[in-house]
């Protein structure tokens, strides 16, 4: 096991060709939001309590009707087959072993049914809605038939963000062969042997529900150019007609939209800027988390993602009122660096760091975390006052 998530990131970079690593790591435009995701988390300082019995630390939580061993979900990420063959199945198995749900992306490279066969754990479905809504209806029906419990409706991708790294690395779907790409592959023989020999991963779920064959150009077109840009709040009623389980709206970036999600019947939201890959200059989820939590009742669940790299980051999120975090890049670093075992190591590391943080913070139960355990640096270098004072 490596020392921290950053070490897995470096190992992933060595293993992956530039185009695959760029897809994993890159943000939109000038990557202002991508960097802010980390900056806001790092600016939050702890206010630890002393002489608290932390011999037994309890980390379990209930989210969207599921019992989680610790407050995290292995979140939805697309084209995971770029990093390892059978990536989505590996992520699902390791999430289950860690006591967490796994959320499968619409842009997954493994079938809904195959992921269920690979894991008996809690599975969620992330949904993009195309103009032909029969595709989304098919995906929801297939997932429910396989026992997927929660739907993540992603609403921040009417179009793909401007990602400069695509041009720098030559990333396209389908791949366009060029001397630069061939040189990139020649420099990464381990990736070619482990991943590339299986061919370019396909958007198999989208293809099956859209009735598209193994033509990656058509699949990519269905994913990007045919997104339903007319999707509105009123369409949550349509989603509810086709999904029996919990519905979380993912990609919320304001308190106002948090309130609208609740008003239109969602069970919760995921505050998210898509890992800094969509609108550059958007806020971090942590920027709006305290205000969003204050605006809705506790029964309305708020999750966050973006920039989670330490177990202590999860503690900060929960202390600010998040029910749980979604893990995006971190498990993928582990997957690329060490295959399925590497993914499991990353999840083990994050939970271990979280438990260490809670003990040092003087909080033995994750349910007792609140903002009194934090100091804020948002008001400037000299502001060091607790966000909230409650009885210890």
- Render pLDDT for 368-380 as a digit per residue (tens, 0 to 9): 999 999 996 543 3
Q: DSSP assignment, residue 392?
A: -
**What pLDDT was estimated at residue 384?**
37
Higher pLDDT, 328 or 390: 328
Q: Average pLDDT of 315-325?
A: 98
pLDDT at 163 over 60: yes
Using pLDDT thresholds of 50, 70 and 90, give the confidence band for residue 171.
confident
Residues 6 or more apart whose CB falls under 8 angstroms from that of 104 comprise: 76, 88, 92, 110, 112, 115, 123, 124, 125, 126, 143, 148, 205
**What pLDDT was estimated at residue 25?**
96
CA atoms within 13 A on the CB side of 9: 14
Instruction: Clarify whether 274 is annotated catalytic.
Output: yes
**What pLDDT was estimated at residue 380?**
36
**What pLDDT was estimated at residue 224?**
61
Fold observed for domain 5-375:
TIM Barrel (3.20.20)
Span 237-267, pLDDT tens digits: 999 999 999 999 999 999 999 999 999 999 9
Distance CA 16, CA 24 (A): 10
Question: In 3D, which of 121, 130, 135, 126 has the Cα closest to residue 80?
Answer: 126
Angle between helical axes of 285-295 and 311-319 (0-180°, round to 10): 30
Strand 246-252 with 150-154, pairing? parallel
Higher pLDDT, 214 or 294: 294
Q: Average pLDDT of 3-32?
A: 96
Using pLDDT thresholds of 50, 70 and 90, give the confidence band for residue 167.
confident
pLDDT at 381 over 50: no
Q: Which of 85, 96, 188, 274 is catalytic?
A: 274
Using pLDDT thresholds of 50, 70 and 90, give the confidence band for residue 223.
low
pLDDT at 45 over 50: yes
**What pLDDT was estimated at residue 219?**
73
**What pLDDT was estimated at residue 383?**
36
Instruction: Report the mean per-residue pLDDT for the chain.
Output: 93
- Whether pTM > 0.75 for this model: the answer is yes
Span 260-297, pLDDT tens digits: 999 999 999 999 999 999 999 999 999 999 999 999 99
Distance CA 267, CA 300 (A): 6
Share of the chain above pLDDT 90, in %: 83
Share of the chain above pLDDT 70, in %: 94
**What pLDDT was estimated at residue 378?**
44
**What pLDDT was estimated at residue 245?**
97
CA 269 to chain CA mean position, Å: 13
pLDDT at 387 over 90: no
Structure tokens belonging to residue 378: 């948002």
111 close to 142: Cβ distance less than 8 angstroms: no
386 forms bridges with which residues in the sheet?
A: 375
């Amino acid at each position: 096991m490596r020392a921290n998530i950053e070490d897995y990131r470096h190992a992933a970079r060595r293993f992956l060709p530039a185009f695959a690593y760029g897809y994993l790591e890159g943000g939109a435009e000038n990557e202002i939001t991508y960097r802010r995701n980390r900056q806001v988390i790092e600016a939050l300082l702890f206010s630890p309590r002393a002489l608290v019995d932390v011999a037994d630390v309890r980390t379990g939580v209930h989210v969207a009707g599921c019992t989680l061993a610790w407050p995290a979900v292995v979140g939805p990420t697309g084209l995971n087959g770029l990093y390892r063959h059978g990536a989505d199945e590996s992520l699902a198995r390791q999430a289950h072993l860690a006591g967490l749900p796994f959320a499968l992306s619409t842009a997954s490279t493994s079938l809904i049914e195959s992921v269920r066969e690979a894991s008996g754990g809690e599975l969620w479905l992330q949904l993009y809605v195309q103009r032909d809504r029969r595709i989304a209806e098919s995906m929801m029906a297939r997932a429910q038939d396989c026992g997927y419990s929660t739907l993540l409706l992603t609403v921040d991708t009417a179009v793909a963000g401007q990602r400069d790294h695509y041009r720098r690395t030559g990333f396209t779907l389908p791949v366009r062969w060029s001397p630069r790409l061939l040189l990139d592959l020649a420099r990464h023989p381990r990736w070619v042997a482990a991943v590339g020999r299986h061919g370019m991963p396909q958007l198999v779920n989208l293809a099956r529900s859209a009735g598209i064959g193994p033509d990656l150009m058509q699949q990519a077109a269905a994913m990007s150019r045919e997104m339903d840009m007319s999707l509105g709040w009123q369409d949550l009623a349509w989603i509810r007609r086709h999904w029996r389980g919990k519905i979380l709206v993912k990609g919320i970036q304001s308190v106002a939209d948090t309130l609208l999600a609740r008003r239109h019947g969602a069970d919760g939201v995921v505050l998210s800027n898509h890992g800094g890959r969509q609108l550059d200059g958007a806020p971090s989820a942590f920027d709006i988390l305290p205000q969003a939590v204050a605006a809705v009742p506790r029964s309305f669940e708020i999750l966050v993602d973006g920039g989670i790299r330490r177990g202590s980051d999860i503690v900060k999120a929960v202390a600010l009122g998040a029910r749980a975090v979604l893990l995006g890049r971190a498990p993928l670093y582990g997957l690329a660096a060490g295959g399925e075992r590497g993914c499991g190591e990353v999840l083990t590391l994050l939970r271990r760091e979280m438990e260490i943080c809670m003990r040092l913070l003087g909080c033995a139960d994750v349910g007792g975390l609140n903002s009194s355990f934090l100091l804020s640096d948002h008001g400037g270098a000299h502001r060091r006052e607790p966000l909230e004072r409650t009885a210890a």
